[in-house]
Structure 1
Amino acid sequence: MTDPSSTSRAAADAYSAVAALYAELPRDDLERLPLDRAALAAFAEHVRAGSPGTVAELGCGPGPVTAHLRDLGLDVFGVDLSSALIDIARETYPDLRFEVGSMDALDLADDELRGIVSWFSIIHALPEEVPGFFAEFSRVLAPGGHLLLGFFEAGDGPVEPFDHKVATAYRWPVDELARLGREAGFVEVGRVLREAVEGERNIRRGNLVMRLSE
């Protein structure tokens, strides 16, 4: 395990600074997002169809997606580098496990996990750092394990930054993320792209499900 990147630490500090606002946000966003729920449900079904094991939501924030994955029947825990957000997650979902840690420097053994969800949590990584995230995902996933990425999609354009409310974030072409996954040993299972809904910023969202080669 290595130390978190300076970008990861800066993003965590930015989220910690607004943690009190996150504590006041509603936890039911997924109820109005059927395509997001579908991507999470498909991921959960793939994981349940394989060998039993643990799933980690990396960059879990205050924990609502971790709780949703638990409700889908997964043995899941959450990891986030912001200790302030982890405190909120633990208070909100006391029956779930949450740990402080960085998804690019995980305190996990090789092949320990059966699934990983990175739900809009690589968005702040510099583009040149993202291959390292895939390498860490590949290290801690058991062969045949599944990965679900949530991200902001860039269409046919290049990777491009935008002014996210908390810290600079990046939009990615889904084909480019799929290519980086293949280079790290993943095989694409499926993808979902959707437009923004009312109340969201007008940026397309993407979900990419991948399986680690056996």
Structure 2
Amino acid sequence: MSVQPGYDALAPMYAELFTGPFESPLERAAVDAFVHGVLPVGTTVVDVGSGIGHVTAHLSSAGLSVIGVEPSKGMRSIAQRMHPDLVFHDDDAHLRTVDLSAASGIIARYSLIHVKPDDVREVLAGWASRLPTGAVVLLAGQSADEPGVHEFDHAVARAWRWHPNAIGDALRDAGFIEDWRTISRPDEKHRFPEFHVCAVR
């Protein structure tokens, strides 16, 4: 999830097109299940690739203390303007500016798709080494029916689709235990299957 000039240029259009945090009831249910999993552990979570802050605000409204992390200046500026009471860091998926020892969860929805697969595995291992036992991680992204990881023609930046088993294996290898997953099928709004995978440190 490096800085993508395309996201800076498209930030105003993105804010107009995506006026809420979720495009389906399943997406909201997955995030709310993550919230319920986090609350017994603690209340501080990190939203990786927080964009214009819709999901960050949703998590905050659920009673969590949220740190949004967004490398795109354009997206981050809109998030700060729309949600002045929330915190947004200029950082990438490695979360170098965030103290993960105090975090009870990490959510990364459609952000790790822009990280090269080998780097995703490095990112997950880094999170696992710094998170406390019991912390919850929720990943979401475009999926594939074919095994493995596949680059696809994302409109803004290089991106990869992960078979659910592949992202589950990456989480396991990093030191997480998978708790649950969802898979949705393509529809008029989505070209590809999509996954949510939740795991515990």
The TM-score range, normalised by the shorter chain, is over 0.9
Mean Cα deviation higher: 151-160 or 116-125:
151-160
Pick one of 54, 60, 84 that aligns with 2:44: 54
Question: What is the letter of the counterpart of residue 192 of structure 2?
Answer: I
Residue equivalent to 1:207: 196
Contact in 1 for aligned 2:43/2:63 (Cα 8 Å): no
Residue equivalent to 1:149: 139
Where does 1:3-152 land on structure 2 (aligned, <5 Å)?
8-9=1-2, 11-28=3-20, 30=22, 32-50=23-41, 52-152=42-142
Question: What is the letter of the counterpart of residue 76 of structure 2?
Answer: I
Provide the rounded CA distance (Å) in 2 between the counterparts of 1:73 and 1:109: 20
Decide whether aligned partners of structure 1 residues 188 and 84 sit closer, same or farther in structure 2, where only a CA change above 3 A counts.
same
How far did residue 72 of structure 1 move? 2.1
Query: Deviations for 1:64-96, whole angstroms, at most 9, x for unmatched residues?
Result: 111111122211120111122111000011121
How far did residue 136 of structure 1 move? 2.4
Question: 2:39 is paired with a residue of what secondary structure?
Answer: helix
Question: What is the letter of the counterpart of residue 168 of structure 1?
Answer: R
Question: 1:133 is paired with a residue of what secondary structure?
Answer: helix
Question: 1:28 is paired with a residue of what secondary structure?
Answer: coil
Provide the identity percentage: 33
How far did residue 105 of structure 1 move? 4.3
Residue equivalent to 1:5: none
Aligned alpha-carbon RMSD (Å): 1.6
Provide the rounded CA distance (Å) in 2 between the counterparts of 1:126 and 1:140: 21
How far did residue 110 of structure 1 move? 4.8
Decide whether aligned partners of structure 1 residues 74 and 105 sit closer, same or farther in structure 2, where only a CA change above 3 A counts.
closer
| Length-normalised TM-score, structure 2 | 0.93
Question: What is the letter of the counterpart of residue 137 of structure 1?
Answer: W
Mean Cα deviation higher: 164-173 or 109-118:
109-118
Question: What is the letter of the counterpart of residue 63 of structure 1?
Answer: G
Provide the rounded CA distance (Å) in 2 between the counterparts of 1:133 and 1:105: 9
Question: 1:164 is paired with a residue of what secondary structure?
Answer: coil
| Length-normalised TM-score, structure 1 | 0.87
How far did residue 157 of structure 1 move? 2.9
Contact in 2 for aligned 1:108/1:140 (Cα 8 Å): no
Residue equivalent to 1:179: 169
Mean Cα deviation higher: 131-140 or 114-123:
131-140
Provide the rounded CA distance (Å) in 2 between the counterparts of 1:110 and 1:72: 20
